[in-house]
Structures are given as C-alpha cells and as structure tokens.
Chains A and B, each alone.
Chain A
C-alpha cells in the first residue's frame, strides 16, 4: 500500500545504511591486531557528570542503590526527580516509568548500552528488572551525552540506562564468588549467585543467577465499609534470571563484550480490587531472552568505533481461566523477535570539535500462537535510524546537537500495513558556565522526537488502527547547576534546578468507536506540560569517621489535557499526575555500620480528568529505614548483613486507584563475597 517512490527511497536508504555499517566493520577489522599495546587493561566506571551535562542527568551508583530500600529498578528510579512510576503494587505488579508526564512509551530503557524493546506494547516493566546485577542507574532527559552510542539512544524523549558491573581484568585473583540471600514479608525468598572467572588478563567471564518468589498476599484495608483487613489475592510471582557476561580485551583500546540474558516469570494478575467481589484468576507467564555483543575499538584517541548486535525473543502467555466462552478460558500467546545491528563512529576533529555518525537497523516481528484469535496479522517492522551528532567543547561552553533520521516500515499478513514513518528529529543541548570563578552553570536543551505506534496500537484485534501517525513529544528545558567544590563541610555537594515546557501532540489514545467492546486508537490527544525538577546531592566531609550522604528531589508538574476545547477535560490535569512529588534519602556510615532513611512523597492527584472527590487519589508518603553491617571472615571473605523496614508507619496508600500498596514490610539479607 505504498507508492513506488517511497519504496525506492526506502531501498536506497537501506542500501546506504548497510554500506556504512559494512564499511565501518571492514575498516575496523582491517586495523585489528595491528597495534597490540601492552596488556594493562584499565577498567573504570564512568560516572555521569551531573553539573556539566547539557541535558539533565541523574545517577544512582551501586552504593546508593544498596541503601535505597529498593528491590527492583522501579523502586530505585522513584528517587529521581521528574519521574512518575506507575506502580500497581506488590513485587509482581506492573511498574512503568513516565518521564516529565510524557508517558511510558517515550522513555527508552537501555541495558549495557543497548535498548530493551517491546514492539508490542512499547512499555518496559521496570518491576521485572532486578537490581541484583546492576551497578549504575542513570536517567537522561533527552539523550545520553556520549557521542559514541547507537542511533537508538537518540530516538526517545529520555533514556534510562542500566549498567551491570564493568569487566574487571584482574589476573591475580581469577575466581570471584558472590552469593546472597534475601528474605522478607509476603513470602519473599530471593537467593542469587555470581561467579566471575578470568581465564587470563584479557578474558573476563561472569555468570549470575537469581531466583525470586513471593506470594504477594499483603494485607490492606478493605474498600467496602466494615470490610476490615483483607489480603491481596492472586499477586504471587516466581521469577528466574540468568545472565552471562563475557569480555575480551585485546588491549586498552579494543574490546569485545558479550551478554546473554534469560528471564522467566509466572505471576498472578490481581487486577484492581473490584468492589464487593475481589476475585481474580488471571495469570501471566513471561520468557525473555536476549544475546547482545558490542565491540569497542579506538583506532586512536580521536577515532572510535562501537558496534552492537543483538537478538532478542520474548514470549508472553496470558491466561484467563474463567473466561465465559465455549472453552471456558482465554489464552493469548505472543512471540516477539528482534534482530538488531548498530554501528557508531566518532571522530574528534580537534580538542574542541567532535563529530559522530551512528546507524541502526532493526527488525521486529510479533506472532500469536493460540486458538483464540482469527487472522492475527503477524506484524513485522523494519526500522532504520541514522544519526549525525556534533559536540563543541569550549572552555565555558559545551554544545551538543544531533539530527536523527528515522524510517519505519511495517508489513502484515492480514489487513493493512501501518503507515511508513520517514522523519527527521533534531536535538540541541547547551551547557554554559558564565564565570570561571563560579561553579554555577546554565543549561538548555530542545528536542523534538516521536514514539511510533506500537503493534498493539496498530493491529490489536478490533481496536488497532493502522492509519495512526507517530506521537510527538517536544521538550524545552532550561536549568542551572551548582557544584560546591569546596574543602569544607559541604564538599562536593550538587544542586540542580530545571524548568521545562513539553508538548505532546497526536497523542495516541483509545477512543470508543462503536461500543464499549470496540474502542479504537486515534491520534487525538494534546498535552501541555510545565514542570520544575530540583535535586540536591549532599556529601558533607566525614568527621569522626562518619560519612553522610543525602539526596533530595522535588518535582512540580502541571500536565494539562488540551486535546479538545469543548471537552469538560480541557485544561484539566492528566490523570495520575500529582502537582507535587519528591523524595529524600539520607545514609550515615561509620566504619562497618551503615544506616539509611528513605522517604517518598506524592501529592494528591485524580484518577480521571474530572476533579471530583471520588476521583481523588490521596497524597501519600512512605518512610523506609535500613541498616547494614559489613564484616570480614578469614582472608578473603567479605560479608554484608542488612535489614530493611519498609513503610515503617504502615501507611495505607495507592498509586493507582483500587490497586492497594503494601503496608509495613520487612526484608533482610546476607551477601558474602570472596
């Protein structure tokens, strides 16, 4: 259903992308093995510079993650400003991130430099991502600052980057073992083991396995008057994660990494608490596998190449055992596959000017294998992304700019193909230090990017609409950053404040078409977002061996529905968007002992656009405490014992209406390393 000219352009673009990819690979391999440097492999974690970054960036390091009473990535990102996590409660409940009210589909989630994708629904459940093997969680508004990144990094309104431990090439101690076990309320059992083995000083191997189960039967106050305390039902989860990492470093400037990831889970879908009848029997099984490899090659200190390749397959099996059809059940079995290839090349023309190109090609497909559907369209999607980026690094001024070209093409077995996308998306970010004597910096960024309609948006039985256009998010951000570089008490404290204005147009919404069973997706929504993110990181100097670290974050959001002037919802705050929210973290360590106190706050918000008392979802605050104790045993054994009390005041609250959150609960664990 596309004309000849678009086909031609598509083929041309495909050829160009492939040629560039091949050229980069060939030139890289031609130079491999030429200049073998002495094998002193340096591995260091790169920390994001929060103040000099042109785009707002927030980061949690391993140590901070360990003191945040966090179980999954979703728990940790709640401490960032500008973030709303939709949390449906319990360990197994869906948890998605919305950055600055743009919606979950606008945030890319990256694992070790490569995006995790879900072509079907477009949202990543952060509750499924364990923190067990994660050393760094970084959130970028706009995009990462690095030039040497895949083109996909530029293709979202914001990027959440997760990093597993970076390879340690330490030949003196080839075997490293870490074992941990955690247990807690609601039947939580969570053992994990990590084995690291270096065959030699070039070859790093790490294998990590984690198992988690919880019955999820946490008590909450019944919604019906006089209902007393009841337990959440069908909220159990059982999940297994296996991860294998290998890294081979030819030398400092040439290394290959490989990651294989397997996750499977079986969980109940408790659904919302239905008044007067809370039963739910629905189940979801997931199986995710991916293998990705990256090759980073520095031809010189100026000329750098990064290649990535990935294969992913995801299977999800939804079961409603009480569906009133002839079979007495409903099954949805979805299979997704992704093939991905990316090349990025950056070149420093001078100390001031750097240029980069990155090109990505990916292929996604979705199939369905149950008997409960007729003529499933088996959509397939090819995406080509080409990005050019430039970075200017002056004394007081940093400017980063990029232009991304995106090409999407869908193909279906039945029905109409979704529309092709052929779009240029610009972004520019500036950081300016007015005076060399003052650590005050100013920053600005602008980005106009879209999210493509997902397979569900386009092809879902009856509901999907193949004429959907992309949903655009435009972001303007202005901020100040201030870093105390003093030697005194306030050494290395950081303050950032950003104000932003975002608009979303052609927002993809479900709109009733013929009846309640027949909704359709339309590009109808328009949103206007004004917000303020403030963050303070405070690391006072240690005294009497006491180390304190603190973080404070605050978010103000006005996210107005401006879709239809004649609607009652015009200029009303988007559902589930509090005007005020914030977080606080304090940890105090002295010698072997560590204590932390964590607070999350959210103002009131409404579940629907109508701001009526019964749509009100009340404000809430949770307070968590934890304590850790480090000790050693024998020569090499390092242990950490910790205990957490979450929601210490047993606050009964909801993030999503009728999805009660757990009250007070406990976790404790032991980690041993040698």
Chain B
C-alpha cells in the first residue's frame, strides 16, 4: 500500500524537484575551471574535530575551518566527516559518527540543515553520499540501508534495504550499485547490490571476488570497478569489474591490483591504498584496459600517508591528501595528470584530510 503510494508519488516528486532550479545536477556540460577546493578532514573518531577547509587559488589562501567561519553560530561540523558531495546548488557532508548529513550552500558554505540519521540505539552512522535523479542517496553502516534524501525538503524520504554495512555507490543508467562491505563481521561480505532507481528496490545481488568492498565507480562504457580490503589476513585487497548491462562479473583483476580504493575520472582509474610506503596510485585506462603508469607520481614527490585521491574532471589534476600521522594537520598536494607536483598546502586544523571538492 505504502509502496504503491510512493510509486505513484515518485514521478510527481521527480517532476516537482526537477522544477526546482536549485536541485538538479547540471547535465555534464563543459566544466569551467575550479576557483578553489573544499577539503573535508575527518578528524579523529570521538574527537568532534572534523573540518571543512577552503583553499582559493587566487589569492592563495587556506581557511582551515571554513564551516565555522561561514557559520559563526555553529559549534563545529561534527564527528568524523567521511564523505562530501555537491548536488544541485548544495553540498552534502556525511558525518559518520555524528550520524547526520550536514547540508550547506555549495558556493557560500552557509549552513542549511542537519539531517539526523537516527538517534540513540538507532544511530545509522552514514558513510557515503551520491546525488542522482534529484535525490541524494546515502549508505549507512549501522542499518544496512541506503537512505534517500529529498533535496528540496532536505528530509529522508525513504530507504532501500541492501547488504551488510554498505559503503561506496555508483550510478549507471537507472541502476544504483552499492558495495556491501560486511566489514563488521568476522567474515566480510563480497556482494554488490543493484537497485532500480525507478522502484527503489534491490533487483539483484552480484557476488564478486573482492572481499569487504569499499569503493565502486563506473567508466563511460558502463563498466563498474569495485575495490575492497580483503579480510586483512589471508585474503588481500583486490578489484573486480562488473558489466552493468548484464549485471555480472566481467573480470577479476587479480593479484597485481591489490587495492582497496579507487577513483575513476575521464575513464582513467586510479587504484590506491590509503597507507604509506607503497607509492600513491596505479593509473589504469579502463577503456583500453592497459596500465598507464604503475606509480602515478613521476617527479619523486613523497606523500607520507596517502589518504584520499580526488580528480578535477575539468583539467585532470589529481589531488592527493596526506594524513601524515593521523593526529596532526595533514596536507593536500595537487599533481597534473602526468604526476608532476603543481602545489601543496597544509590542512591547518584538519586531521586526516580525505575528500576534495572543486568549486567552480
């Protein structure tokens, strides 16, 4: 009954939200160059020291706590900011331990709303967000669901059951793909849920070779790459590829691709592990299926603890965040697409910087 109502209402909601000028993602047009970057630093779990910093190119200036600067009445962003996305004219920051999504005006950083993801024992601990089709989808580790944020009312309008402890998501066509990590179990999960965004229901669970999947991203051909941790002991990190037209595993990338994280931009996949010692990232062309470079950085620049990797879609610049010792300010280094350092800056006050968003 309820589901029918939602089905009936859904087109109306979509149309309604489509009418709202604010909340539709611009259809991939020509991107203008970035004027600055937002940096989300996770902080330490339980320490309430997540920071949203802002770095402008001209003049060169880094504001360590841009959130509080723009919102003096707010105490702080919250605890353990795990992800941030732009969608429409808004920025959605996923606060894992505060269990909420903080919504800001994307261009000014002005606070709009905190969307609570459960309270008390019902705390959901959201992880990742993805904007698509007028909605923002958010995975939560503690309730094994993808919650749907209505981008006009900024409320949770529904949720979709998926597998255990879902993490990263990707969209191809009408389908949402969710990496089910099962990372809280002794034996982690190894599935990807396929959700039909028309019905908001899981239509399939694809079993992949990768254990404890974390990230899933698609290229322009509709191939989905999934990376996961393995089980930390006998099974190493690895990457699986899913064909989105058949929703089956196309290939397992094998031992040479022992990476728990990945980012795909302009069909180039950057595989990485967020720990130091073994270089930064492997660059792989997902169309020609060939390795571009085994080590992304080509000028010898050292990153102590590469933690997050983000790509400026407009010019291919790669921003690698350095968590250093995880207890003091980290840094962000910008490389051109050939792996040569362009500039870097310290994320003053920002411990464990992870996500970088490009302001245009």
A275 close to B186 (CB less than 8 A): no
B193 adjacent to chain A (CB < 8 Å): no
- Say yes or no: is B348 at the interface (Cβ < 8 Å to chain A): yes
Pairwise interchain contact B325-A567, C-beta atoms closer than 8 A: yes
| Residues B68-121 near A (CB distance < 8 A) | 73-76, 78-79, 95, 97-100, 114, 116, 119-121
* A122 nearest CB across to chain B (Å): 21
What is the 8 Å Cβ interface bit string for chain A, positions 369-383, against chain B (1 contact, 0 not)? Answer: 000111000000000
B75 touches A224 (CB 8 A): yes
Q: Report the nearest B residue to A567, measured CB to CB.
A: B325
Whether the Cβ atoms of B121 and A322 lie closer than 8 Å is yes
| Contact indicator B95/A276 (Cβ below 8 Å) | yes
**A279 contacts the other chain (CB 8 A):** yes
Residues of chain B contacted by A31 (CB below 8 angstroms): none
Give the residues from 581 to 612 in chain A that come closer than 8 angstroms, CB to CB, to chain B.
607-610, 612
Is B48 engaged at the interface, CB distance under 8 Å to the other chain? yes
Distance in angstroms between the alpha carbons of A112 and B125 in the assembled complex: 47
Interface hub of B75, B185, B327, B349 (most chain A Cβ within 10 A): B327
A657 lies within 8 A of B47 (CB): yes
**Residue in B closest to A509 when the chains form the complex, CB atoms:** B325
- Check A608–B142 contact: CB distance below 8 A: no
- Given A224-B75, A281-B121, A322-B123: A274 touches B98 (CB 8 Å cut-off): yes
Write the nearest CB–CB distance from B17 to chain A, whole angstroms: 27
Query: Does B120 lie within 8 Å of A276, measured CB to CB?
Result: no
> Is B46 within 8 A of A276, CB to CB?
no
Do A374 and B186 touch across chains, with their CB atoms under 8 A apart? yes
In this complex, what residue of B is CB-closest to A610? B328
Find B47's partner among A226, A322, A607, A612 (CB 8 Å cutoff): A607
* Complex Cα spacing A273 to B44, Å: 13
- Let me know if B244 is at the binding interface, CB within 8 A: no
Nearest Cβ on chain A to B197's Cβ, whole angstroms = 25
Q: Chain B residue with minimal CB distance to A273? A: B48
Kindly state the separation between the CA atoms of A374 and B232 in the bound complex, as whole angstroms: 12
Whether, in the assembled complex, B200 has its beta carbon less than 8 Å from a beta carbon of chain A, the answer is no
Known: A274-B46, A608-B327, A609-B327. A223 touches B75 (CB 8 A): yes
Contact B144 A324 (CB under 8 A): yes
Q: How many whole Å from B249's CB to the nearest CB in chain A?
A: 24
CA distance A273 to B97 in the complex (A): 11
Question: In residues 221-241 of chain B, which contact A (Cβ within 8 Å)?
Answer: 229, 232-233
- Indicate if B257 sits at the interface (CB-CB under 8 A): no
Within 8 A of A (CB), among B162-203: 164-165, 183-186
Please determine whether B49 and A462 come into contact, CB atoms closer than 8 angstroms: no
Q: Does B273 contact A (CB under 8 A)?
A: yes
Q: Which of A94-102, A246-254, A499-507, A511-519 contacts B (4 or more CB under 8 A)?
A: A511-519
- Chain B residue nearest to A275 (CB atoms) is B48
A277 and B96 CA atoms in complex are apart in Å by 11
Partner of B349, one of A324, A326, A614: A614
Given contacts A275-B98, A277-B123, A514-B273, contact A462 B328 (CB under 8 A): no
Q: What band does the interface of chain A fall in when counting residues whose beta carbon is under 8 Å from B?
A: 35 or more
B46 A279 Cβ-Cβ under 8 A: no
Which of A325, A374, A515, A569 counts the most B-chain CB atoms under 10 A from its CB? A515
A326 touches B49 (CB 8 A): no
How many Å from the CB of A123 to the closest CB on chain B?
19
Whether a CB of chain A sits under 8 angstroms from the CB of B323 is yes
Q: Is the CB of A275 within 8 A of B232?
A: no
On chain B, the residues within 8 Å of A489 by CB distance are none
* Complex Cα gap A511–B275 (Å): 11
Q: How far is the CB of A616 from chain B (nearest CB, A)?
A: 12
With contacts A512-B305, A515-B275 taken as known, whether A568 is within 8 angstroms of B98 at the C-beta atoms is: no
Interchain CB contact under 8 A, B329 and A568: yes
Q: CB-CB contacts of B310-331 with A at 8 A, as 1s and 0s?
A: 0000000000000111111100
Interface residues as binary, A543-584 with B (CB distance below 8 Å gives 1, 0 otherwise): 000000000000000000000000111000000000000000
Q: Flag if A279 contacts B79 (CB, 8 Å).
A: no
Is B351 located at the chain interface by the 8 A CB criterion?
Answer: yes
Q: Assuming A512-B323, A614-B349, is B100 touching A276 (CB within 8 A)?
A: yes
A274 touches which of B48, B116, B305, B352 (Cβ 8 Å): B48
Residue A1 at the B interface, CB < 8 A? no
B residues near A658, Cβ cutoff 8 Å? 46-48
- A657 CB → nearest B CB, Å: 7
Among A226, A279, A325, A512, find the residue whose CB has the most chain B CB atoms closer than 10 A. Answer: A512
In the complex, A323 has a CB within 8 A of chain B:
yes
Residues of A within 8 A of B121 (CB): 279, 281, 321-322
Are B78 and A276 in contact (CB-based, < 8 A)? yes
B210 within 8 A of A: no
Interface assignment of A272: CB less than 8 Å from any CB of chain B: yes
A174 close to chain B: CB less than 8 A? no
B274 at the interface (CB under 8 A from A): yes
A277 near B46 with CB under 8 A, answer no
Which residues does chain A contribute within 8 Å of B98, judged by CB atoms? 274-277
- B260 at interface, CB cutoff 8 A: yes
Task: State the Cβ distance, B330 to closest chain A Cβ, in Å.
Answer: 10
Residue of B nearest to A569 (CB): B328
Is B151 positioned at the interface, with any CB of A under 8 Å from its CB? no
Partner of A372, one of B143, B186, B275, B324: B186
- B36-79 contacts to A, CB under 8 A, are 44, 46-49, 65, 73-76, 78-79
Which residue of B is nearest A659, CB measured?
A: B46
On chain A, the residues within 8 Å of B325 by CB distance are 511-512, 567, 569
Q: Does A271 touch B at the CB level, under 8 Å?
A: yes
Contact B324 A275 (CB under 8 A): no
Q: For chain A residues 257-283, which have a beta carbon within 8 Å of chain B?
A: 271-277, 279, 281
Nearest A residue (CB) for B97: A274
Q: Which residues of A contact B (CB under 8 A)?
A: 223-226, 271-277, 279, 281, 321-326, 372-374, 462, 511-518, 567-569, 607-610, 612, 614-615, 657-658
Ordered nearest first, which 3 A-B pairs have the shortest CB separation?
A: A275-B48, A272-B46, A325-B184
Given A225-B73, A279-B121, A608-B351, output 14 extra A-B contacts at Cβ < 8 Å. A271-B46, A274-B79, A275-B48, A277-B100, A324-B144, A324-B165, A325-B185, A512-B275, A512-B326, A514-B232, A514-B274, A516-B352, A568-B324, A658-B47
- Interface residues of chain B, those whose CB is within 8 Å of chain A, are 44, 46-49, 65, 73-76, 78-79, 95, 97-100, 114, 116, 119-121, 123, 125, 141-144, 164-165, 183-186, 229, 232-233, 260, 273-275, 305, 323-329, 348-349, 351-352
